[in-house]
Amino acid sequence: MSIQEFYSQFTTQILHTTWPEAVGVIFGMISVVLANRNHVALYPTGIISTIVFIYLMAKPSVGLYAEALLNLYYLVMSIYGWVLWYKKRDNEDAAISVNSRKDWMITAGIVVIGWVILYTTLSTFTDSDVPVWDAVVASTAWAGMWLLAKHKVENWILLNISNAIAIPLQIHKGIPFTACLTLFLFIVAIFGYIRWRKLYRLQHAAA
């Protein structure tokens, strides 16, 4: 895709953006910024975004059913994280922490098992031409959302593995507007990781 073709498709997507899609994107961006600041409002804004995208992706005219399933997972994990936040807000367990060996094992399990399930489903029941990479994007994002709900610093690593693979995949699929949004999320996640590492060190030093 040439630069001129990219620009033309990008502007066309902007002009044809529907209001539900705009709402989903805006609240999704707000949620990521709030997650960067470890603010509880990341959950309600994320919930609004995921509900919108479940609706959009599941529409027959769009037909991205795997994306709808991924957003359903985001919705469940957002609700779980919100409940966990208030349940442990007066407990030191609510503070930012890093992965233990057990956490890494669970993370790896989510990625591997999630990939196998998604790859098998995509390659067997859909006409996807990128089932391997599509499954990697989703399974690493699943693990990242679980770690975010647990307030683990490493959530940003898993989410950015997903973002890094999703960007060229989205360009390949001819959706550069979505790729630009993912690039924004990638950049925010880098700063999120740096900020959370700093907060973890400060909390650890205070303890």
- The amino acid that residue 37 corresponds to is R
Mean pLDDT over 189-205 rounds to 89
How many CA atoms lie less than 13 Å away from 147 in the CB half-sphere?
A: 31
The domain total for the chain is 1
Task: Rank 68-77, 80-89, 123-132, 193-202 by mean pLDDT and report only the highest.
Answer: 193-202
Helices and strands per DSSP (H, E), number in the chain: 8, 0
* Whole-Å CA distances, 16 to 11, 49, 167, 184, 200: 9, 19, 21, 20, 43
Tokens 């007066």 map to which residue? 90
pLDDT digits (tens, 9 = 90+) for 28-40: 889 878 877 778 8
- Whether the Cβ atoms of residue 42 and residue 28 lie closer than 8 Å to each other: no
- Exposure letters 143-171 (e unless 16+ CB within 10 A, then b): bbbbbbbbbbbbbbbbbbbbbbbbbebbb
Mean pLDDT over 86-107 rounds to 80
Question: Strand pairing partners for 152?
Answer: 97
The whole-model pTM stands at 0.76
- Residues of the domain holding 83: 3-206
Shortest CA distance to 144 belongs to which of 180, 102, 193, 89? 193
- Whether the Cβ atoms of residue 118 and residue 138 lie closer than 8 Å to each other: yes
Cα separation, 91 vs 40, in Å, equals 15
